[in-house]
Every structure is written in C-alpha cells, then in structure tokens.
C-alpha cells in the first residue's frame, strides 16, 4: 500500500560521524540549499574559518559544489553528497 504523505525520516548525522567527523556530518546535513560560509558559521555557532576548513575538505571530496554569487561563494551538497546523506536516514 502506498503512502501519499509520508515524510522522509530525519537524517542521522551520528551514522556519518565516524566517516566524516561530527562537524562535517552536521555541515553536510545543513546544505540543502546554497548557503554562504558566514551563515553556516552562524547556524553552527563556530567561526567562519572553522567552517571554511570543513567546507574545503567536503568540496575536495566531491560532496559539495560551489556557486559564486557576486562577492559570495555559496555551497550546496552535490548529488554524491545527497546520496550519502540519503543513506544515513534513520527509519
């Protein structure tokens, strides 16, 4: 029987933490839409420099894409990052 209004189970970042590290797993989970480094730092309560270091690792591994918007660089999960996160959903 199909469910019309089922919601996706929440992301369990604890599943990804051993692979990516807890800060990177949380960061990957936040990147549903293009977001600048300063906004990510605000949401996580850490410095932009710390976020930038994690973003660089996630980008270099192919889990993120970068988009330039004027003076800002926005980050978003790549299709590979989306698939990795989908595999970590509990339920």
Domains in the chain, CATH or no CATH each: 14-86 (1.10.10.10)
Q: Record the pTM.
A: 0.77
Residue 83 has pLDDT above 80, yes or no: yes
Predicted pLDDT at 67: 94
Q: Which residues contact 75 (CB under 8 A, 6 or more apart)?
A: 31, 34, 35, 36, 37, 40, 55, 58, 59, 64, 65, 66, 67
Predicted pLDDT at 22: 84
Predicted pLDDT at 10: 56
pLDDT tens-digit map of 34-82: 999 999 999 999 999 999 999 999 999 999 999 999 999 999 999 999 9
Which of the four pLDDT bands, split at 50, 70 and 90, describes residue 12? low
């Amino acid at each position: 029987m199909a469910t019309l209004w089922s919601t996706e189970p929440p992301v369990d970042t604890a599943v990804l933490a051993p692979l990516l590290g807890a800060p990177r797993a949380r960061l990957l989970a936040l990147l549903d839409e293009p977001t600048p480094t300063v906004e990510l730092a605000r949401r996580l309560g850490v410095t932009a420099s710390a976020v930038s270091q994690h973003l660089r690792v996630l980008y270099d591994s192919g889990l993120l894409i970068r988009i330039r918007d004027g003076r800002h660089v926005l980050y978003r999960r790549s299709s590979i990052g989306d698939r990795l996160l989908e595999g970590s959903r509990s339920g």
